Structure 1
């Protein structure tokens, strides 16, 4: 399909004349030749240039100054410096060649822009007045064939766009909307005919775009074969040979707004095409279409996706993590297909190092996992992971009690057996080639739960849970004396409580400290206020298992044992019975000298320095001990001995 722009010659007054479509600026205008299709300029256009009086320097513009033109060209003396100004800004500087031609490319003129040229050659200079860019011919006209009934494209906002035949007959018109888009309904035209599309507004009429109507034929929508990925700046593919491929890339700019950039290219004889585009970003929406002979074919919109995740780990039926690498800041997602539907089973934000560990529930062997990453609200293509059957639990585990020092059983040859207690590994060992293993462990308390699993190539089986059996050893009982507030003693490892019984009836429960010591408060039990009464203490573990009962009896509160005291010593020392609450020294008549201190280990001391009686050899004294309830006092006599 051919599209030609019919250009008209601008004629500028004053010192400017036109010859074959050329704008001249010189001190002496060249001869004017007759020109066809000449449109007289209005008064504002007639003041485009200002002449500097010189016999040598000249400059002219040979290209029309119309909207959407992408270059300005002209002629000047060879070597003349040409400086282009647009809207008062110096855009570029060029020099006229030996052939007198100068050209500025890479422009995209807009209607209403102000153009000025400054020409300099040696000491000579010419400068134009500003010229306003006029209305251009309509652009982006759709391909037309003998079945077409619509003409679409872009023009100047508010202009009247007209479609005429080559004979000048108007067959349709419309007003360009806000933004310049127009659509004109026309009757079908024969193949080979030519249509002229122009626009007019406020007395100004543009050039015309010429479109040839071609024979309708089927074409293929373009296929992208490479370059469609984040960061790409070139996209290529295949389409019908000689067709026009169009691409629109839409990108969100925030706040619900978006921006669209359009590209087009012709395919070669083999149907190959390539476009240089803005660097693609995740979330960009790309629309492609092709046209030939007035027939168009388009594709559904496609979105630039994030890169696929990589380095995804092997996942087994024992796995609870999916590990891999992705784009920092994106979100890793793991999905499972269930009853024909994908269900998300785990997600995690990818860290700054690009790694992720998504926690998932255990999946059955044979399940397919689909691992994506989401960036800019767009999912990547998935990586498919097949869940393989993991290691089975170890088998044939031996029974364990509180005296056991090894775990034995069967596993996978070469696997590592791991034994854990309270969440920590306490031992491990290798499964032999015959599938048997023996792992040494420290003795465990009764009721401890051991978790025994096997591991190979990062796959850890489910654990076999074994409880440590056995009976607690019997507790010990310190001598209990009538009137003491507590029954005390020690328990074996694994015991958490003690139970006090009297006449085989549970009377009270006592606590065990972290060192294995226990105490049971009994000062309020009437039954234990009599010498000779029997009682029992049993230890209990976390599983409520009981030890054998240790028997004890209420003993007479004994007199304190007093160490030898020699004249002049600072303290009277000795030991007192469990439950002694007060220790004191008196004279033989019962007069109190001093009260002492009883330590936790039963030793005592009484400060007697300065007491006159203890400075004489042969003086007698009495040490009295009082039980916890204050109901019993026992005594021991002593004599001051020489040093």
Structure 2
């Protein structure tokens, strides 16, 4: 707040800040001290001294930054997402948490606010501020506990011995019932569980949580009656003595049954499952029966209906099952049979529902294996009670000993299986190749499929298929025809730059396809399973129109069935272009100009049927010298444009115009030195004829359209015939007019 320095003893020192002067006197020790207000950083200060009417030069200084005080940090809680406080206006405040800095600037009102993540209780936070290269000392604060939210409390029933809910991890939860507190801690997963005695319905339970000496508001819940369940099994009149079932819930105290609207004796609920003696109380399948549960106060809790059934009966009549012919045990049924099963050699298989009463059938092809199998069919009512069980007779055939009906020819290179069909009692088949007996396999459902790839290898092989019945006796033999695979392939023309695939069709037994380019065989691909069209990716394989490309078709074993050569070509280049010539004016233009588009490379001119040499086309503009070629308005002129190969792309006619204009002459007196007049249009010069003789002198028409022709030397008389000739800029005659001569 002072400016100090040294000067001449007794001199008056004037310090100036802006336009404000502050003065003082140099003391006997040569020093001066002048009081000023505090100044902003960078302020210019000047000083000069005066003594005995003389004033010194000016000295100057600039205010530098003084000490920067530490900023003030407001309190920070676990809820805070900003650090706020006060500091020096314009200073940069750096808040540090751990090793992470967060920065902000002190606003014009002296406050700052810096965003931070929420912090845990006890975290240390420091702050300092920097201004004009000076940094303050550090201010410190510690994060305090913010607001603690109330915990949640789950529903509590009369059956519960714990209070559960969620809260802040590590908080102490206090549950209060009446005046009795029960405490627990919130676990790492955010939940708590506190043991309490069972409570009566309507009891109010409150809970609150405390963390770092901060306690939340309380939340309440009211104890409700515990949930109960009740089930009842079906009851069969004349067979069952008890109605049985289960229940849950600690409040179930009594059980009773209601029959046709009348509630019978209540019994004590001693545990689940329960049973209630109902013989003689439930007497008909039409009775409406319910089981009811009660609490200790006699209040009804649950009421469930009992499925009452009468005694059931039914019969089964199975048909004979023929090995090798039948797939199902079938027959008829009567009465209350709702499900049936099959027992084979003491093993009962799955029960299935009756869906086609009064008939039934049970799939047994994989269950009954021998004529000696002991088979029964079992019938049950809807409750699962066995009503009837009958033996099933297992037979060998129906008078049909078994026959191999058909066998397909076997194609080498194509087929993997010998296939065919059979009828009657055929249980297994075997293959014989050149009298060598191969494996015997089982068959079913009238179909034969025998894997023979690698077993049948030549068209000269003698191949037989022998069928055996369930007793293992050969009952049928078929000779198999063996042929080679055959097939053909075609290929569409391939255009480089347009096509990506070699495409075509195939027939017969073609299984694989390859591509050979200039003698180099490429990858072999599988022929499509369905259809007769194929495609082979060749974009990177076929690169020149001279490539020799061959497609080869193979059978499944890799044998070559057919080859074809692919026609390879490049696409024809189509060039286009147009020309638009400008109008050409004789006497004005020297070039035929215009524009073109497209693939134009050269331009030529045709005049009256004569085609002149072409010139290069550049920058989409034509510029063809024609001054000596086009001489008359009647000339027929065409512009032709060509591509680089010389192909004509376009031809357009040029519009030709000729110079036009008029000339007038003022009356000439025999004493005048000049003939004057005017001209219009393209008339650029004038000359005269005198008595039919054309004069050599020519005069130019002025910019204002007037002319002045010297005639004094011609000594004209009124008897002379004088004509003015109007000429264009090249000297061609455009128009004429006669001159009137007077004395």
> Structure 1-normalised TM-score?
0.29
TM-score for both structures, normalised by structure 2: 0.26
Larger RCO (CA within 8 A; separation ≥ 6): 1
Larger radius of gyration, structure 1 or 2?
2
